[in-house]
Amino acid sequence: MAATLGTLAALVHGDLRGDPTRVISGHAGIDGAGAGDITFAGDERWRAKLAASKAGAAVLASPVPGFAGAMILTAEPQLAFARIVQHLVAAAKPPAGVHPSAVVAAGAIIAADAHIGPLVSVGEGAEIGPGTVVHAGAVVGVGVRIGRDSVIHARVVLEHDVVLGERVTIHAGTVIGSDGFGYATDKQGRHVKVPQTGTVIIEDDVEIGSCVCVDRARFDATRIRRGTKIDNLVQIAHNVEVGEDCLLVALVGIAGSTKLGDRVVLGGHVGVGGHITIAAGAQVAAYSGITADLEGNARYLGLPAIPLADGLRVRVVQKRLPELFRRVSALERRFGAEEVP
């Protein structure tokens, strides 16, 4: 939706240099922006291009000479631009009510202003809070509770007794509350399923991408705490606890009973073993493997994951391995393998 520059500047507590009544109706990159768009420049590379841009306004850390548009100045232009774009693209909620094709159990409780889309299934005893939207084909299982203003996208499956807080967003194709992977093996090598009788609790302001699996706990609860953001194609096993404001990037896999502190960041393809503790503020680079507890407020790299500085030194040595192998082979030929110091 359109907004005046005055409104947008106030939204991000920015210093506006320009006409506060000018209306902005869209957003775009510096190269493609037009007179009705707002853009941003977060570093010198883009600031250098801004003078030639046709954008009507830009979000910046400091003024750019030669730029003809209005400027909103803020210490964190990327963050401010994100909030402005959220405001501009905010979509109207679908109308309240239950679609005729939805199947809703008699004992389910649905807030009057919630939206239940086509072919949704809502189980017995489920509760769906005010302002929540459940899109087409989603399954809300028996006893599930969803807080207010949440968004459940198409074909999401919420298994029985899962609990979602307020303003939770779950994207298409994700499954919350599937059985944890637990088996006991008998003397004949046959695997006997261990019942997974716990649940999953997802706290307020969590966003979960598409095709994510969060398994229910064996006993108590698998828990995703407030504000955490999870990318597509992530696996979270039974009894895992993820702290507040964590970031889990695509293809992360976390084995059972592992605990992540607040603000932990796991890069793409990171694998985490079971029964491990990762303390608050730890950051782990992509393609790393975590096999032991990690201390907080530090960065890690590698398989197994080690402190970043050590991991970088290891990678330098790895690049030299072919050369070192040739040198050792030459020494063996010259002196004999048993005599090489």
User: Would you state the pLDDT for residue 48?
Assistant: 87
Residue tagged active-site, from 99, 115, 238, 275: 238
| 27 part of the active site | no
Q: Does domain 3-89 have CATH number 3.40.1390.10?
A: yes
**Alpha carbon of residue 153 to chain centroid:** 15
CA-CA distance, 153 to 176, in Å (whole number)? 13
Are the CB atoms for 55 and 40 separated by under 8 Å? no
Give the number of other Cβ atoms within 10 Å of residue 147's Cβ: 20
User: Would you state the pLDDT for residue 41?
Assistant: 92
pLDDT in tens, the chain (341 residues): 899 999 999 999 999 999 999 999 999 999 999 999 999 998 888 888 998 999 999 999 999 999 999 999 999 999 999 999 999 998 778 999 999 999 999 999 999 999 999 999 999 999 999 999 999 999 999 999 999 999 999 999 999 999 999 999 999 999 999 999 999 999 999 999 999 999 999 999 999 999 999 999 999 999 999 999 999 999 999 999 999 999 999 999 999 999 999 999 999 999 999 999 999 999 999 999 999 999 999 999 999 999 999 999 999 999 999 999 999 889 888 887 665 55
Where in the chain do CATH 3.40.1390.10 domains reside? 3-89
Instruction: Name the percent of the chain in helix, strand, coil, to the closest 5.
Output: 15, 30, 55
User: Would you state the pLDDT for residue 341?
Assistant: 52
Residue 219 in tokens = 């006993």
What residues have CB less than 8 Å from 148, skipping those under 6 apart? 111, 129, 130, 131, 132, 166, 167
User: Would you state the pLDDT for residue 266?
Assistant: 98
Where in the chain do CATH 2.160.10.10 domains reside? 97-307
CA-CA distance, 228 to 237, in Å (whole number)? 16
Q: Which residues pair with 183 in a beta bridge?
A: 193
Give the number of other Cβ atoms within 10 Å of residue 256's Cβ: 19
Fold category of 97-307 in CATH? UDP N-Acetylglucosamine Acyltransferase; domain 1 (2.160.10)
- Beta-sheet pairing, 299-301 with 306-307: antiparallel
User: Would you state the pLDDT for residue 1?
Assistant: 80
